[in-house]
Amino acid sequence: MIAELGHFALILSFCFAILLAFVPITGAWIGDRLWMRLSRPLAGAQFLMAIVAFAALTASFLRDDFSVRYVAGHSNSLLPWYYKFSAVWGGHEGSLLLWALILTGWTAAVAKFSKQLPLEMVARVLGVMGMISIGFMLFILMTSNPFLRYLPNSPQDGADLNPLLQDFGLIVHPPMLYMGYVGFSVAFAFAVAALMGGRLDAAWARWSRPWTTVAWAFLTLGIALGSWWAYYELGWGGWWFWDPVENASFMPWLAGTALIHSLAATEKRGVFKSWTVLLAIFAFSLSLLGTFLVRSGILTSVHAFAADPERGRFVLMMLGVVIGGSLLLYALRAPVVKSRIGFSETSREVFLLVNNIILVVAMLTVLIGTLAPLVAEWMDKEISVGAPYFNLMFSLLVPLLVIVMGVGMYSHWKDTKAAQLLGPVPMFLVISAVTSVVIPWMYGEIHLMAVIGVFIAVWLFAATLRDAWLKSASSQGRMRGWLRTSRSYKGMVLGHLGLAVTIVGATMVSQYTVERDVRLAPGQSVELSGFTFRFDEETQRRGPNFIGDRATVSILDSDGDVLHVLHPEKRRYQVSGNIMTEAGIDPGLFRDLYVSLGESLEDESWTMRVQYKPFVRWLWLGGVFMAWGGFLAVADRRYRIKLKRKLSTAEAMDSSDAQAQPRGDADALGGRQA
Amino acid sequence: MNPKRKQRLIIVSFLVIGVSATVGLIMTALSNNVNHFYNPTEVVQGAAPIDKSIRVGGMVVDGSVNRDGKSLAVAFTVTDYNNNVNVKYTGILPDLFREGQGIVATGKLDAQGVFQAEEVLAKHDEKYMPPQVQRALDKAQDAAPAQTY
């Protein structure tokens, strides 16, 4: 009964989506305010029904209703309750339902937090989001309904959730990632709405900017979580595989990063309007492409669920409609008038343009590398594109990007004096050059890639910190001065520092990981990077739904003292029969020690992989900084002040905020001018 | 030429040079880092290049896995049921590596026709069959219709 209720709610939500897609937009077209005003309640109703549908599926999981086909395929009565909960999005159908839930959630959020927008704009934005909803819900209802039942012969128990997904990382990774993917639909909807209305101006950029930044921050978190999950859960210490699905999330991230920077230029200076709109279309189209790649099963990876050509066709069709339709609209409506706003070669505008070009080239690099095997398959060849291709391209593009960033940070809108740009460069050069030799030297060998990586990271640190130092100058002291800078400026600093932190992590862990595959019998030990790993014993252990071989490995320092005891495991999940490697990890800010079990051999010995991974945590720490920066920027006062001003001008006047207003209005990038 | 045209010409030529350099770079990087896939029959017939990074896939022959008593070296045979290729590998095999299971290995073919694997992949699902392996098996089946199964 619950499943049917969910199915019914989903159909209702779909009906609301249809109304939402057509009524308000028609209203905006014919100028009917009542029809336009319907957009907000419709968005709310759509979200409410999606919640009911999602709750119904969750309830079916928690109640072990194995007559529901999807539950039977992805759960088991032995599963702990929190994994039953996360199993809702552990398969194709459920993860699409989560997509739909988040999409309707974003729609409702736009409806709620758009009081300062003109009604026409709200109607169009929500209408476009309704259209996207129609596509997704139709997809779910027609090809991937999670509420179908096995009747009358329903199984006694479920086939269990893939053990890889029975993990905390998977409870949070997909929702974060989807928040990002789907969040770009808001930027897309704003862009399309602006094209429809023919009003492509700075106001449009200001409205869509916070939404884009939030989506980007969620996507950043989602990707970082995915990488962290792969690191500890796949069992072998890899953190990025250039797997098609990882690429699928990385491409919208690169386009989104370009977008949040070009939006800044569009908002502040009214330049690059058409380009920004195009990027918004790209970012969301790439999110859809990602969904297509993952869900159609045409590219194989750990993430690919069962391949189904019908689903693939549907998503491909949707992709065609979205990309084709929005590009057609773009071609028809994008401003043909050349913007007359001038800027010199050394202006902030130019630096942001260079940033955009590099990011888009990076995105195309990933796109080509990901799609090449598909293209080759049509030509009846079978190829795979290896990590060396991506690594080579990124080791060229990222340094270029970061060097330009370090200089561009000091540029002004319109024009900058060359002396101001190049003034601090010698200092950065010296600091970066020295550090980039010293740190690799401390780790033994000086690899070229390590030198480059540390160089650009330190360059970025130095440039960002110097800028923050200058901006926080104040008669009341640095601390007060820093606190006085706007939140969007703080967010930018944090984001850029985050990138530097991630670069340090990626460089150090790629260049200085020490890894050894060994064969150890109980009592034997192996030395690695100054640590002794001693295999003490192996015991059996029973989990709720698995049996495991659990090894005890002690880590000793050079004096023979035990630093840590790790327990890597080899688990066999009873229902599915899957074997899982659970790594034993001793985490640290500057190094992880990582032990994973291979196979047990005849004489009680085990094959083991022991690893020393320097700075690996920095990879994800940087991601957290970037995301945090994004959220901070959105919390900037100017986004709230506009609202407040409109609601009650009088109140805002005598509040203590009024005093700080001018600074609050200063944007991250324009802060210097204010 | 007036200065405005001249400026435009400079911008356009920069664009053309930039775009072609980027495309050229991507294409070169791509062509140098692509691994072609071969099935055992193609390897045996000499279609696969020697000492070049390639991928070979097939089913692990029952009883063919042979682990060295002291080290981590392991040897096994993969088959498409028409031809066999011997594979050598040193290291830890993936969890789902088993006799009778489909695998894909990346590595180089040596002059003796032995595949020296650097990486062995078996996917995290018992029912999963790498599509390349599936197609290789289908092809082998088509190529030898006379055989009885």
pTM score? 0.89
In a domain, B133, yes or no: yes
Q: Which residues of A touch B53 (CB under 8 A)?
A: 386
Structural domain includes residue B17:
yes
Q: Which residues of A touch B26 (CB under 8 A)?
A: 364-365, 368, 393
How remote is the C-alpha of A531 from its chain's centroid?
35
**Same structural domain, B104 and B62:** yes
Phi (first) and psi of residue A88, to 5 degrees: -55, -40
Residues B23 and B81 in one domain: no
Do residues B5 and B75 both lie within one domain?
A: no
Examine the domain organization and report whether B95 and B49 are in the same domain.
Answer: yes
d(CA A606, CA A534): 12
> Do B25 and B88 belong to one domain?
no
Claim to verify: residue B55 and residue B17 sit in the same structural domain? no
pLDDT in the model for residue A56: 96
All residues of chain A having their beta carbon less than 8 Å from the beta carbon of residue B37 are 382-384
What is the distance in angstroms between the Cα of A372 and the nearest Cα belonging to chain B?
A: 9
Reported as a single tens digit per residue, the pLDDT across B32-86 is 888 888 888 889 988 888 888 888 888 889 888 988 877 788 999 998 888 899 9
Same domain? For B57 and B24 the reply is no
Cβ-based contacts of B126 with chain A (< 8 Å)? 576-578
Closest CA to B125 of A356, A584, A573: A573
Percent helix, percent strand, percent coil in chain A, to nearest 5: 65, 10, 25
What's the pLDDT tens digit per position in A470-523? 988 888 888 888 888 889 999 999 999 999 999 999 999 999 999 998 989 999
- Asked if residue B148 belongs to a domain, the reply is no
Q: What is the pLDDT of residues A137-188, one digit of tens each?
A: 999 999 889 999 887 778 888 888 888 788 888 889 989 999 999 999 999 9
Rounded to 5, what percent of chain B is helix, strand, coil? 30, 30, 40
Q: Are residues B48 and B89 in the same domain?
A: yes
Say which DSSP state A164 is in: G
List the structure tokens of A334.
Answer: 């994008």
Q: How many Å apart are CA A555 and CA A572, to the nearest integer?
A: 26
> A599 vs B93: CB contact, 8 Å cut-off?
yes
Indicate yes or no: CB of B93 within 8 angstroms of CB of A365: no
Q: Is residue B102 part of a domain?
A: yes
pLDDT at A660: 38
Domain membership of residue B50 as a residue range: 36-143
The answer as to whether B48 is a domain residue is yes
Is residue B97 in some structural domain? yes
Q: Which of B23, B26, B80, B138 to mutate to test the interface with A (most CBs of A within 10 A)?
A: B26
Q: Which chain B residues touch A581 with a CB distance below 8 Å?
A: 95
> Which of A624, A653, A674 lies closest to A217 in space, CA to CA?
A624
Residue B34 C-alpha, separation from nearest chain A C-alpha, in angstroms: 5
Q: Which residue of A has its CA nearest to B119?
A: A386
- Residue B142 pLDDT: 63
Instruction: For chain B, positions 28-57, list CB contacts with chain A under 8 A.
Output: 29-30, 32-37, 53, 55
- B108 and B125 part of one domain: yes
Q: Cα separations (Å) of A433 from A162, A425, A468, B50, B95?
A: 48, 12, 22, 42, 44
**Same domain (yes/no): B116, B128:** yes
**Cα–chain-centroid distance for residue B33?**
11
Lowest mean per-residue pLDDT among A118-132, A166-180, A619-633:
A166-180
Is the CB of residue A85 less than 8 Å from the CB of residue A57? no
Q: How many CB pairs under 8 A join A and B?
A: 81
- Whether the ω angle into residue A174 lies within 30 degrees of 0, i.e. cis, is no
Q: Do B36 and A580 touch (CB under 8 A)?
A: no
pLDDT digits (tens, 9 = 90+) for A632-658: 999 887 776 555 554 444 343 434 343
Hey, are the CB atoms on B135 and A302 less than 8 Å from each other? no
Question: B91 CB contacts (<8 Å, ≥6 apart)?
Answer: A517, B72
At B133, which CATH number? Answer: 2.40.50.140
Number of Cβ within 10 Å of residue A106's Cβ equals: 24
Q: Does residue B99 fall inside a structural domain?
A: yes
Task: Say whether both B97 and B133 belong to one domain.
Answer: yes
CB A535 within 8 A of CB A523: yes
Q: Determine contact: B95 vs chain A, CB below 8 A.
A: yes
Burial label for B130, CB within 10 Å (0-12, 13-18, 19+), is buried
* Measured distance CA(A44)–CA(A233) in Å, rounded: 38
Q: What gap in Å lies between CA A79 and CA A62, rounded to an integer?
A: 10
Q: In this predicted structure, what is the pLDDT of residue B130?
A: 57
B73 and B17 in one domain? no
Residue of chain B with shortest Cα separation from A579: B95
Inter-chain CB proximity B53 and A386 less than 8 Å: yes
Task: Dump the DSSP string for A481-523.
Answer: HHHHS-HHHHHHHHHHHHHHHHHHHHHHHHHH-EEEEEEE-TT
Measured in angstroms, the CA of A237 and the nearest CA of chain B are apart by: 13
As for the ipTM of the complex, it is 0.80
* Segment A599-616 mean pLDDT: 88
Instruction: Indicate the pLDDT class of residue A310, thresholds 50, 70 and 90.
Output: confident
- The string of pLDDT tens digits covering residues A39-80 is 999 999 999 999 999 999 999 999 999 999 999 988 989 889
* Residue B149 covered by a domain: no
What percentage of residues in chain A have a pLDDT greater than 70? 92
Query: What's the number of domains chain B is made of?
Result: 2
Distance from CA of A547 to the nearest CA of B (A): 15
